Amino acid sequence: MVPFAAAFVCPSMPVPDRAATILIVEDEPTVCELAAEALLEEGYRVLTAADAWEAESILARESVDLLFTDIDLARNTNGLSLARCARELSPDLPVVYTSGGRACLPPCEAVPGSVFVPKPYRPSQLVALTQDVLRAALLHAV
């Protein structure tokens, strides 16, 4: 099982010098592990947290290229507040929300420019979405 709040690099896979760093915030260990493994296999650097408090601690000390967060998290924290805090630290940080309890996310609840993907999602969908969001962020920065 992939531990929470840790950085992962698969030793058998080459990782570019500056692989994009993805922070996955998910309180369901199995879901977190599947998402992390899918992104690791694509060469991303992956950090994980089980709740918003752990994620905020990671964001304060790590450079993150994309935040992928569940909305309803452990210890009565939530991904909506987390994304707002993350955007205070990094205004252009791409954010992807997910939830098993919602079919959509009203734009008024989300940070601007964010994306929502309902659960269940396939690992391949997460990889494709991550690539698309990072590509769009790169184009926006140029």
Alpha-carbon distance of 128 to 84, in angstroms, equals 24
Check pLDDT > 90 for residue 1. Answer: no
Q: How far is CA 78 from CA 12, 58, 59, 109, 125, in A?
A: 34, 16, 15, 12, 23
**Directed axis angle between helix 29-41 and helix 123-141, to 10°?**
60
Q: For residue 5, what pLDDT is reported?
A: 37
Per-residue pLDDT reduced to its tens digit, 112-133:
999 999 999 999 999 999 999 9
Instruction: Specify the pLDDT at position 96.
Output: 98
pLDDT per position as a tens digit, 70-86: 999 988 899 999 999 99
pLDDT at 140: 81
The residues near 89 (Cβ < 8 Å, ≥ 6 apart) are 59, 60
Q: What pTM, to 2 d.p., does this model score?
A: 0.87
The stretch 101-122 carries a mean pLDDT of: 95
Is the Cα dihedral 18, 137, 64, 21 positive or negative? negative
Write down the pLDDT at residue 141: 78
The pLDDT score that the predictor gives to residue 9 is: 40
Q: What is the pLDDT of residues 25-74, one digit of tens each?
A: 999 999 999 999 999 999 999 999 999 999 999 999 999 999 999 999 98
The domains of the chain, with CATH numbers, are 7-141 (3.40.50.2300)
Q: What is the pLDDT of residue 11?
A: 38
d(CA 19, CA 2): 19
Q: Scanning the structure block, which residue is given the tokens 């939830």?
A: 99
